[in-house]
Amino acid sequence: MNQTAKGEILTTDGIPLKVSLRRSERINKFRAFALVLPLTLFIIITFVIPIIAMLTRSIDDKQINTVFPKTFEIYKQWDRKELPPEEMYATIFGEIVSAEKRAIGKASTRMNYSRSGWKSLIKKSKRKFKKIKEGPYKEQMIALDKRWGKIEFWKALGEMVDPYTFGYFLNAVDLKYDSNKEIIRQPEKRRIYNYTWYKTVKISVLVTLFCLILGYPIAHLLATLPLKYSNLLMIFVLLPFWTSLLVRTVSWIIILMKKGVFNSILVWAGVIADENRMQLIYNETGTLIAMTQILLPFMVLPLYSVMKTIPPSYMRAALNLGAQPMHAFYKVYMPQTVPGISAGGLLVFVLAIGYFITPELVGGADGQLIGHWIAYHLKSTLNWGLCAALGTILLVVMLTLYWVYNKIVGIENIKLG
Site for other proteins in 255-294 (CB under 8 A): 255, 257, 259-261, 264, 293
Beta pairing class for 9-10 and 2-3: antiparallel
Residue 232 near other proteins by CB under 8 A: no
User: Binders of other proteins among 8-27, rule CB under 8 A?
Assistant: 25
CA distances from 135 to 91, 139, 241 (A): 11, 9, 71
Give one DSSP letter per residue of 209-271, joined into a string: HHHHHHHHHHHHHHHHS-HHHHHHHHHHHHHHHHS-HHHHHHHHHHHHSTTSHHHHHHHHTTS
Nearer to other proteins, 156 or 257 (CB): 257
User: Binders of other proteins among 44-63, rule CB under 8 A?
Assistant: 44, 46-55, 57
- Residue 60 backbone dihedrals phi, psi, to 5 degrees: -80, 125
| Min separation Cβ 39 and other proteins, Å | 4
User: Binders of other proteins among 156-195, rule CB under 8 A?
Assistant: none
- Report the candidate in 396, 415, 317 with the shortest Cα–Cα distance to residue 51: 396
| Min separation Cβ 260 and other proteins, Å | 6
User: Binders of other proteins among 296-325, rule CB under 8 A?
Assistant: 296-297, 304-305, 308, 325
Residue 212 near other proteins by CB under 8 A: no
Residue 5 near other proteins by CB under 8 A: no
Q: Is 156 helix (H, G, I), strand (E, B) or coil?
A: helix
Residue 402 near other proteins by CB under 8 A: yes
Nearer to other proteins, 124 or 202 (CB): 202
Nearer to other proteins, 19 or 45 (CB): 45
Give one DSSP letter per residue of 297-336, joined into a string: HHHHHHHHHHHTTS-THHHHHHHHTT--HHHHIIIIIHHH
Do residues 243 and 235 lie in contact, with contact meaning Cβ atoms separated by under 8 Å?
A: no
Of 6-14, 40-48, 143-151, 170-178, the window that binds other proteins (rule: CB under 8 A) is 40-48
In one-letter notation, the amino acid at residue 312 is P
Of 3-11, 156-164, 333-341, 373-381, the window that binds other proteins (rule: CB under 8 A) is 373-381
